[in-house]
Amino acid sequence: MGKATRPIKVGSCFVGGGHRPPVQTMWKESLRADRLQAAAAGVRSLSGLGCGILRFSAPDIGQAELLGALASMVDTPLVADVHFDWRIALRCLDFPIAKIRVNPGNLGEPWKLREVAAKAADKGVPIRIGVNAGSLPADLRDEPDRGAAIVAAAEREVAALDELGFRDVIVSMKASGVEETVRANRIFSERYDIPLHIGVTEAGPLAQGCVRSAVALYALLADGIGDTIRVSLSDSPENEVIAGVEIVALASGTRESADIVSCPRCGRASFDSHAFSERWRDRIYSIRRPVTVAVMGCVVNGPGESRHADIGISGAGDKVIVFRKGEIVRTCSPEEADTVFGEELSRL
């Protein structure tokens, strides 16, 4: 999958070089020293859902040090997101950080970038250059071709690192619009073999953000463009990961984790498929095998979908039927449904 880009090692995973695009999300709060164990558990949980790379803001030295401590507690590659202050980037590089995101242009004098690049090279840590349409250099802001302007900004940043002989680079060019995001990445992909982190930034709340991201990222991935992805939502990192995993599965035509088939529910429902799907969402998506799980409200479509799934559950009058591999294996009351389903799921 993907155009030939140079492979970049990001902690324990690869970005580019034909590898399946790792799904990313971003931690949405500041780190706290007294909550690091909980943060580590949260990182592992996101990893279980399919998050391959996880990014954290490092707005000051204190956050850089907490991130560094967290990075040594988990296996997931953690990325430090640094703006403006090269000293924060240098401090992050004292820890097992998998990647650092900076924009060379906003670090200030060239010697600061030189110091960061030298230390990153010494530690074997790649740098992600992230260009956002909302913060283009002044001379590019009024360019009518927004996609081309984003590329021009990225090219400057790439050139700054290239002059230092630093080639362990990943580039992202994001906009809140689908068209300019797709256009920028297509132009860049024609010119460079640098791996691309693709995403629509500030894509919006859950439904809108998923739609925008899916349209843009599917189009790019289907063209072989994009080496790692993020769905940016005004919503939870869990939903960002689930959406990202789904987009990669659809665009690649191969699935590495569970697929949920669930009905929209209507007045016929005798079983609350919404609430059930929500309760079991993380557990099901944590199955790192391509199994299909059906959750259905009634007998209209429930038995049919459930029989085609690896495991299915369907309302049937005042009962609930559980299917496994096409066969009815249990019939129970709605109150017993979670227990029965959990037992059957563990037998998959």
Q: Which of 32, 141, 191, 268 binds ligand SF4 (CB under 6 A)?
A: 268
Of residues 269-288, which lie at the interface with ligand SF4 (CB under 6 A)? 269
Least Å distance, CB 270 to ligand SF4, is 8
Residue 218 vs residues 171, 298, 302, 330: alpha-carbon distances, Å:
18, 33, 30, 39
Residue 18 vs residues 1, 14, 138, 218, 225: alpha-carbon distances, Å:
6, 9, 36, 17, 10
Find the part of the chain contacting ligand SF4 (CB under 6 A) among 200-208, 213-221, 249-257, 298-306.
298-306
Q: Which amino acid is at 211?
A: V
Cβ within 8 Å of residue 251, ≥6 positions away: 1, 217, 218, 221, 222
Least Å distance, CB 330 to ligand SF4, is 19
Q: How many residues lie near ligand SF4 (CB under 6 A)?
A: 12
Length of the chain: 348
Nearer to ligand SF4, 63 or 273 (CB): 273
Is residue 294 a contact point for ligand SF4 (CB under 6 A)? no
Cβ within 8 Å of residue 165, ≥6 positions away: none
Q: Which of 113, 116, 161, 263 binds ligand SF4 (CB under 6 A)?
A: 263
Is residue 313 a contact point for ligand SF4 (CB under 6 A)? no
SS3 for 267-314, per residue?
CCCCCCHHHHHHHHHHHHHCCCCCCEEEEECCCCCHHHHHHHCCEEEE
- Name the token pair of 306: 């459930």
Cα–Cα dist 48/283, whole Å: 9
Find the part of the chain contacting ligand SF4 (CB under 6 A) among 137-145, 263-271, 281-289, 331-339.
263-271
Cα–Cα dist 295/302, whole Å: 8
Helix ranges (DSSP H) in 57-177: 61-71, 86-92, 110-123, 146-162
Nearer to ligand SF4, 105 or 334 (CB): 334
Judge contact between 42 and 221, C-beta under 8 A. no
Q: Is 38 left (phi over 0), alpha (psi -120 to 50) or beta?
A: alpha
Least Å distance, CB 313 to ligand SF4, is 12
Is residue 296 a contact point for ligand SF4 (CB under 6 A)? yes
The b/e string for 214-244 (b: 16+ C-beta within 10 A; e otherwise) is bbbbebbbeeebbbbbbbbbebebbbbbbbb
Residue with token string 């799904």: 23
Is residue 124 a contact point for ligand SF4 (CB under 6 A)? no
Q: Which of 297, 310, 322, 323 binds ligand SF4 (CB under 6 A)?
A: 297
Q: Which residue has the closest beta carbon to ligand SF4? A: 297
Q: Which of 115, 132, 301, 344 binds ligand SF4 (CB under 6 A)?
A: 301
Nearer to ligand SF4, 106 or 292 (CB): 292
Nearer to ligand SF4, 292 or 301 (CB): 301
Q: Which of 26, 36, 140, 300 binds ligand SF4 (CB under 6 A)?
A: 300
Q: Which of 302, 311, 313, 323 binds ligand SF4 (CB under 6 A)?
A: 302
Nearer to ligand SF4, 147 or 297 (CB): 297
Least Å distance, CB 271 to ligand SF4, is 8
Nearer to ligand SF4, 205 or 317 (CB): 317
Which residues are near ligand SF4 by CB under 6 A? Answer: 263-266, 268-269, 296-298, 300-302
